[in-house]
Amino acid sequence: MATEKLISDDGIRNDGRKIDELREIKFDIGVLKNTDGSAYVEWGRTKILVGVMGPRESHPKHLALADKARIDAFYRMASFSVEEWKSPAPSRRETELSKVIREALSPAVFTEYFPRTSIDIFIEVLQADGSTRCAAISAASLALVDAGIPMRDLVASIAVGKVDGQLVLDVQDKEDKEGESDMPMAYMPSKNAVTLLQMDGQITQEEFARSIDMLKKGCLEVYRLQRDAIEAHFKVSESSNEEA
């Protein structure tokens, strides 16, 4: 629990942000050479690489689905990504996050276009400073686009927390650990579709309602950054094509 205050009297958080301000977010698309699609995100100090392999033959074969592609997500944290050295064996937390991230991204993918194949989404958290699942989902959407996989919409994601009794947008590590609650959401704006929603901590029903509003606005902001990144990436690709 917090002993020092995390939000100053004039509403400034311990990293200088306002209550509803996002950290600096930088997406890079197409950064890996051995994948079908990839993206890198720096989200404040959080740094994540995502690689997509597929659609490709399912292995082992009996896992293939007759009418659609099988999507798998693997969320892993590098041993040096957190304060204390982490064993590389996947923790129960990593297992759960792999599941909810897969379920957050699946509704966006036209899996029915690729029956009997697998799409594997590999997420490597190089440095973790809060909201890694949100950053991972947002970057993975871009990696899927980079892989040329048709999608219903991008999935944008962000978290709202309660810190010193106030709701704040885009929770970083210190706020997550010392704050009162954490509530990440993933959202497809064009579908009004909540594809991930989790919460832990204590909030009133009224705070829940306000959180949902903030999450929606935050997701739209991330969505805009994702679209900017795609535009920038394809502009570069195009101009380099023209040069060629």
Give the footprint of other proteins on this chain (CB under 8 A): 32-35, 38, 45, 47, 49-53, 66-67, 71, 74, 76, 78-85, 88, 90, 92-93, 95-96, 98-100, 102-103, 106-107, 120, 122, 124, 126-129, 181, 183, 188, 191-205, 208-209, 212, 216
Q: How far is the CB of 197 from other proteins (least distance, A)?
A: 4
Judged on CB neighbours under 10 Å (0-12, 13-18, 19+), 146 is: buried
The residue (of 78 and 151) whose beta carbon lies closer to other proteins is 78
The residue (of 38 and 226) whose beta carbon lies closer to other proteins is 38
Instruction: Report the candidate in 67, 31, 72, 61 with the shortest Cα–Cα distance to residue 48.
Output: 31
The residue (of 18 and 90) whose beta carbon lies closer to other proteins is 90
Terminal-to-terminal C-alpha distance of the chain: 58
Report the alpha-carbon distance of residue 194 to residue 172 in Å, rounded: 22
Q: How far is the CB of 70 from other proteins (least distance, A)?
A: 11
Pull the structure tokens for residue 49. Answer: 């690489």
Amino acid at 24: E
The residue (of 57 and 231) whose beta carbon lies closer to other proteins is 57
Cis peptide before 107 (omega within 30 of 0): no
Q: How far is the CB of 170 from other proteins (least distance, A)?
A: 18
